Amino acid sequence: MAISMYRASVPVFRHYLAALRGVLGKAEAQALSTRIDPAVLLAARLAPNMFPLTRQVQIAADFAKSAPARLAGQEPPSYPDSEQSFAELYARIDRTLGFLDTLPAARIDGQEQRQIEIKVGGQPVTFEGLPYLLDYALPNFFFHASTAYAILRHNGIDLGKGDFLGRR
**Residue 11 CA, distance from chain mean position:** 12
- Whole-number average pLDDT of the chain: 96
Q: What is the pLDDT of residues 126-154, one digit of tens each?
A: 999 999 999 999 999 999 999 999 999 99
Read off the pLDDT of residues 15-28 as tens digits, 9 standing for 90 and up. 999 999 999 999 99
Instruction: Parse the chain into domains and list their residue ranges.
Output: 5-165
Q: What is the largest CA-CA distance in the chain?
A: 51
Q: Read off the pLDDT band of 1 (50, 70, 90).
A: low
- pLDDT of 19-54, one tens digit each? 999 999 999 999 999 999 999 999 999 999 999 999
* Torsion angle of the four alpha carbons 161, 94, 102, 68, in this order, in degrees rounded to the nearest 10: -50
**Counts of helices then strands in the chain (DSSP H, E):** 8, 2
- Give residue 157's pLDDT: 97
* SS3 (DSSP) at 139: helix
Q: Give kind and range of the element (H or E) at residue 127.
A: strand 123-128
Q: Which pLDDT value is given to residue 2?
A: 78
pLDDT(105) > 80: yes
pLDDT score of 88: 98
Q: How far apart are CA 21 and CA 23, in angstroms?
A: 5
C-alpha 11/C-alpha 24 separation (Å) is 20
Q: Which fold has domain 5-165?
A: Four Helix Bundle (Hemerythrin (Met), subunit A) (1.20.120)
Q: Is the pLDDT of residue 168 over 90?
A: no
Question: 73 in the Ramachandran plot: left (φ > 0), alpha (ψ -120 to 50) or beta?
Answer: left
